[in-house]
Amino acid sequence: MNVVVSLDRVSVRYGQQWALREVTASFPAGAVGLLGPNGAGKSTLLRALLGFVSPEHGDMRVLDLDVNTAPVAIRGRIGYMPETDAHVPGMNAVTFVAYCGELAGLPRQDAMQRAHEVLYYVGLGEARYRNLETYSTGMKQRIKLAQALVHDPDLLFLDEPTNGMDPRGRDEMVALVRDIAHEKGLNLILSSHLLPDVEQTCDHVVVLDKGRVAAQGPIAALKGQGAHVYEVRVKGDRHPFVAALAAAGVECHGGDDEPMRVFVPEDRDAQYLFQLAASHHVQIRHLRPSLPTLEDVFAQAVNET
């Protein structure tokens, strides 16, 4: 497996607050999701890889280069799409993207040619002569992607690329990211707290929670990791039943208005649930085997940290 980014016991802190603690992770080639709730340390991890923040300790390598010793060379091979709105003021889209290409080392003519191409690719072809200050939120997201792509990086860092987009725009952005990773052959790390975005675009995932790695690996493998999943509805007081499940090491999420998702270890089956329910005077009114989703992986990983 080709590894494009690796971190070994990396810790970063802002003042007294630890943003990353002893993070050890590998990002293989292809599309990798960086998942985690808000404040988990996803953006900090990307910023550390770009050399924006210095870790207290630990080693980081990007594309076989050491972040400490070769940050400029690394940034020459990376495209970064930041989470927040960002542009160079007073420019139209094509000038801005070409300017970013030149900053990344492209000759002027090539940068301009690629700016046009990339803007068409991200869906801003018709708006490329408009001033960036007049762009909508969705267009600003696309222009950030365009500036990250213009110099044809080997690795893309996309930080919450669908932030603030309407459903249609979000679908289009997800489709673009998927195309970049699967059709154009670029490696990318997609940082997001939106599980469907990651599930639709990535093959691997690294889950961060409270600055630590909660889970990592191929999504398919993580989904199928050692449990039967059931959707369960019960009649009666479910709280003692849920407590009994937890005491028996059976994970359970959801409830109230929606079915509970119960993760029964591989060595047990649905019969076990019926027995436990009966012993706690609860009726199981609905039980359906389900497939594990990334949401389950995420919930399990976050609960374990």
Which residues lie near other proteins (CB under 8 A)? 14-17, 47, 50, 52-53, 72-73, 75-76, 78, 80, 82, 84-90, 99-100, 102-107, 110, 114, 116-118, 120-121, 125, 147, 149, 151-152, 179-180, 184-185
Please name the residue that has the structure tokens 């900090």: 44
CB-nearer residue toward other proteins: 115 or 262: 115
Decide whether 20 or 149 has the Cβ nearer to other proteins. Answer: 149
Instruction: Give the tokens for residue 289.
Output: 């085997």
CB of 37 to other proteins, least distance (A): 20
Q: Cα–Cα distance between 298 and 214 in angstroms, integer?
A: 8
Q: Of 273, 272, 261, whose CA–CA distance to 229 is shortest?
A: 261
Cβ 28 to other proteins, closest distance in Å? 20
Distance CA 283, CA 270 (A): 14
30/292 with CB nearer other proteins = 30
Minimum Å gap between C-beta 17 and other proteins is 7
C-beta closer to other proteins: residue 28 or 82: 82
Q: What is the DSSP letter of 298?
A: H
Residue closer to other proteins, measured from CB, 103 or 278: 103
- Minimum separation from the CB atom of position 282 to other proteins (A): 50
Bridge partners of 217? 205
Q: Which residue has the tokens 């991890």?
A: 45
Tell me the C-alpha distance between 205 and 183, whole Å: 19
CA-wise closest residue to 142 among 129, 155, 152, 127? 127
What is d(CA 84, CA 163) in angstroms, rounded to the nearest whole number?
9
User: Residue 1 or 14: which CB sits closer to other proteins?
Assistant: 14
Compare residues 10 and 219 and give the one whose CB is closer to other proteins: 10
- Shortest approach of other proteins to residue 14 CB, angstroms? 5
Q: How far is the CB of 162 from other proteins (least distance, A)?
A: 18
Rounded to a whole number of angstroms, the minimum distance from the CB of residue 161 to other proteins is 15
Exposed/middle/buried for residue 50 (C-beta within 10 Å: 0-12, 13-18, 19+) = middle
Number of H helices, E strands in the chain: 11, 14
Is the C-alpha dihedral spanning 222, 224, 226, 230 positive or negative?
positive
Three-state secondary structure call for residue 283: strand
